[in-house]
A and B are shown apart, each in its own frame.
Chain A
Amino acid sequence: MPDLLIFSRNKSTSVEQLDDQTIKSTCRLQDTFTNGFIGIIVKLPELEIKEVTGKFSRTLHGKCLDLSEAFKKIVGVRIGPGMSKIIRGIADDATECRHFGCIVEECCHGVILSLTKDAMLLIPEGYELTEDDYKNLVKSNIRLYNRCAAFAPGSRIVEGVEPP
């Protein structure tokens, strides 16, 4: 028997800067059972979600076909630490569509990563970050300490850095 896939999923998130104060993030999902997208408009510097749009054309159980109420409830949420809990909580309450919360979260992560990318672009071309640069990054934001394997004890980056 040929070695066929039984399921496949593509999830793609794209972030656009509409103007100095406005970011649009869209996540598209296409898999064996589902096809749809959700887009959010976010205002800087508050990173508040101002608008949510989206549409699903194919979905398991038809649970994602009408999300208009869920969209309204996400408006006003701020992107930032602790947002996952808020988004998942609102999504669980507002809709049975499991993809909704995941996709909104994906849009929000896209926004954060786009801002991280902006910061990385400030590093001069050709400059290789040194171990000390990373150490200083941890020292300036100790919340990074033990946040993942790269910043955990045992990593060269946190050698000599006082734990919080």
Chain B
Amino acid sequence: MSTMLKFSRNKLVSVRKGEQDTLVVHGLLDDDIYGLELDIIFRISNLEIISIDGKWNRWTTPECKRSVQFLPEAVGLCAGKEGFAQEVHKIVGRKACRHYANLLIECGYSAQEAVIAIKYQAARVESPDLTLTEFLNDESQNEQEALSSHVVDRNAQVTEKHSARPNLSLTDIIAKKKSSGMLIDLHVHTSPASPCSSAPVDQIIEQAKRVGLDAICLTDHNYAWEPHRMDNLIRKHGFLVLRGNEITTNQGDVIVFGLDRDITGIIGLDDLRREVLAVGGFMIAAHPIRGFLVLGAEEIGLTPQKAMERPLFKSVDALEVLNGKVTEKENKFASRVALGLGLFATGGSDAHEVSEVGKYATRFFDSIKNEKDLVAALKTGNYSPVALR
């Protein structure tokens, strides 16, 4: 049988030693759509990017070439450090171009391995019979020793800069809330708890007050806020702040309420469901329908009926049918799926920037004073998603 390739992409990275303590790296990405190159100089000792330049060979939009001017913002990033790829995606991928980011990460990882090659060559000058396996075993032992002295507590990185106001009690604040229903943004991300957010929690809360919300839920990615920190925020701002958690499962993102555990890594959807049911919590499929940047869900032939078959929707209590990060069309699609499956529907901004808070929210017709009330209200279905702007 003769068949043609539908698409192909080739990446080539070559590394040579430069002057003094440097590596000279050339990367080339060439596929059916894009063609681009990178020339990067890394410092060998810490794999820091000293200089970077890019060149387009083929592109899609007339403005793709603008991206080259932003590449120097990657200078200073270290390919040897944990989080290098995330930093590159954030800085180069978002500001310049995601294809440059892809190639830069490949170049960075190649530079890391080039350092291993250099060290091995150097070790063989002293011990000509040293095999690569023996050398790697020695190296990994040294790495283990170095690692044990650099344990980082993730929670310790997130510190609140201001202390709570001592003269306002929690009951006073909560008593101010309306008893006839509340407008709550159920989906908000803060910095630094969510690495993808640039919005400090204090600014988020002040914005929520400004736009007329009655409460917000902090749903940072795989991040369990400690209850006492929420109490402090409530006292400090005189505003109801509730805990949630946007947990990444193998089937997509799920907003969970009522679960206290800090979940790291990717959890299986079935495992999460079991845990949430055991504690009487509530699960919402976040942005359940998200298409690609150029192609929408429907362009690849997805119908609401077909989407209803997804395993994800069998293991959640509600769908987020108004999400601030997807298109209107995708939100409408999600509404049709929720309706078809008879699942409750919620709204949330999915704010990652201060200005995005409250774009969408959920109007509850019950009074909510705490997390327990919120979970109870969510289970009644006595609410509706609302667009505030």
Q: Contact residues of A with B, CB < 8 Å?
A: 3-17, 23, 31-33, 44-47, 60-61, 73, 76-78, 80-82, 85-86, 89-90, 92-93, 98, 102, 106, 109-110, 112-120, 129, 131, 134, 137, 140-144, 146-152, 154-157
Contacts and interface: CB of A to CB of B under 8 A. Distances in A.
B70 interface: yes
A9 B8 contact: no
A115 B300 contact: yes
A17 B7 CA distance: 9
Given A13-B7, A89-B248, 6 more contacts: A8-B13, A33-B117, A78-B310, A98-B109, A113-B33, A149-B69
A11 B10 contact: yes
B106 A81 contact: no
A11 B248 CA distance: 29
A5 B15 contact: yes
A150 B117 contact: no
A38 B225 CA distance: 39
Nearest to A76: B250
A46 B312 CA distance: 12
Contacts of A157: 61-63
Contacts, number: 214
Contacts of B5: 14-16
7 contacts: A6-B16, A10-B11, A15-B6, A80-B292, A117-B6, A118-B6, A137-B294
Contacts of A147: 94, 293
Contact of B70 (A5, A106, A115, A149): A149
Contact of B17 (A6, A32, A144, A149): A6
Nearest to A9: B13
A93 to B, nearest CB: 5
A116 B61 CA distance: 14
A44 B301 contact: yes
Contacts of A14: 5, 7-8
B81 interface: no
Nearest to B59: A150
B113 A32 contact: yes
Interface string B54-65: 000000111110
A149 B118 contact: no
B292 A116 contact: yes
A133 B292 CA distance: 18
A116 B279 CA distance: 43
Contacts of A98: 109
B62 A156 contact: yes
A131 B116 contact: no
A114 B325 CA distance: 24
B198 interface: no
Interface stretch (B95-103, B230-238, B334-342): B95-103
A106 B296 CA distance: 21
